[in-house]
Amino acid sequence: MKSRYQGIIFIITSAFFFALMNLFVKLAGDLPTMQKAFFRNAVASCVALALLLRKPEQFKTVKGNWINLIIRALAGTIGVVLNFYAIDKMGIADASMLNKLSPFFAIVFSFIILREKPSVWEWIAVIVAIVGSVFVVRPTLTAEVIPALCGLLGGIMAGLAYTFVRKATSNGASRNLVIFFFSAFSTIVLLPFMLVSYKPMEWWQLLYLLLAGGGAACGQIFITLAYSRAPAKEISVFDYSIVIFTALLGFFVLGEIPEPLSYVGYAIIVLGAVLIWLYHLRRDKKEIKQKDKNLEK
C-alpha cells in the first residue's frame, strides 16, 4: 500500500515537471521547432547517460533489442517534434491533453504489434478518449486545425513509442538504457535539421530551452520511479494531473484560457482513463479472490 502511494506521488511530480517543460518550450519564443526539440533531448540525454553510467552493465541489455529501441526512438522523436509544434501554435493545456492520448493508442498498438487482446472495457475507453479528442481538436476545414492534428498525431506516435518500450523492457532492456537510447538517438537525428533552420538565440531563450530539457529529464526520472513503485494500471490515471498543471501555468504565466469545449474534451478523456483504471483494479481484486479460493481448496 505504501509503495502505491509513493508511486502516485512520483507520477504527479512527473506530470508537474512535464508541464514545466511545456511551459518553458512556449516561453522560449519564436524559435524553430527542431531547435527546441534538439535542446530538450540534448539535455535529457546527458542526464540519462549519467544515470546509466552508475550501472554500466545496463549497456549490455541492448543485445537483441536494437530494432525495438530504434523504432521506439524514432516514434518518440517524431512525437516530441509534433508535440512541440502543437505547444507553439496552441494552448499548452490543449497540446498536453492531446499528447496524453498516448496510453489509449498504446492499447491499440499493443493489440496490433504485441498481439495483446484488450478487454471490451479497454476498447470502450479508447473510443471515449477519441470522442474527447474531437472536442479538443475541434476539426474544421481551415488551417487552424493543423496544430491540433499535429498534437493528436504526436499522441499517436507516443503511444507507438510506449508499445516498443514495453517490448524492449520485456526483452530484458533496462529502463535507463531505453531512456538514454531515445534521448541520444533523437539528439543525433535532430542535429542536422536544427543546423539547417538554426536561429540565433537570446540568452533567455537558451535558458528556457535548457530548463525545458531539465524538466523533461526530471519528468522522465520521476515517471520511472513511479512505475518502479507500483504497476501502471494502479497509478497511470494520476498522470492526467498534467492538464491541471498546464492549465494553471498557462493561465497565470501566459494568460491562456482554454475554450469551453476543451474542458468538455478534458473531462471525457480523463473519464476514459478512469474507466481503464477501475477495470484493472476490479480485475485484480477478482484474481486475488480466486487465488484465495484455490488456496482454501
Per-residue pLDDT tens over the stretch 4-38: 778 889 889 999 999 999 999 999 999 999 999 99
What pLDDT, on the 0 to 100 scale, is given for residue 209?
A: 95
- pLDDT at position 187 is 95
Q: pLDDT category, 46, cuts 50, 70, 90?
A: very high
Least confident of 22-26, 133-137, 262-266, 280-284: 280-284
Cβ-based neighbour number of residue 115 at 10 Å:
7
- Domain extent for 71: 2-296
Return the percentage of the chain with pLDDT > 90, whole number. Answer: 38
CB 65, CB 168: distance < 8 Å? yes
**Residues 6 or more apart in contact with residue 212 via CB below 8 angstroms:** 20, 21, 24, 25, 28, 36, 39, 40, 43
Domain count, the chain: 1
- Answer yes or no: is pLDDT of 1 > 60: no
Q: Which of 93, 161, 110, 123 is nearest to 272 (CA)?
A: 123
Determine the pLDDT at residue 16: 95
pLDDT at site 278 = 83
The per-residue pLDDT for range 83-134, each reduced to its tens digit, is 999 999 988 999 988 888 888 888 888 888 888 888 888 888 889 888 988 8
pLDDT of residue 232: 65
Statement: residue 162 has pLDDT above 70? yes
217-243 pLDDT tens trace: 898 888 877 876 776 666 777 888 888
Lowest mean pLDDT among 47-51, 53-57, 286-290: 286-290
End-to-end CA separation in angstroms for the chain: 28
This prediction's pTM? 0.87
For residue 21, give the C-alpha cell.
517543460
> 31 near 199, Cβ under 8 Å?
yes
Would you state the pLDDT for residue 155? Answer: 92
Set of cell numbers at residue 40: 530538450
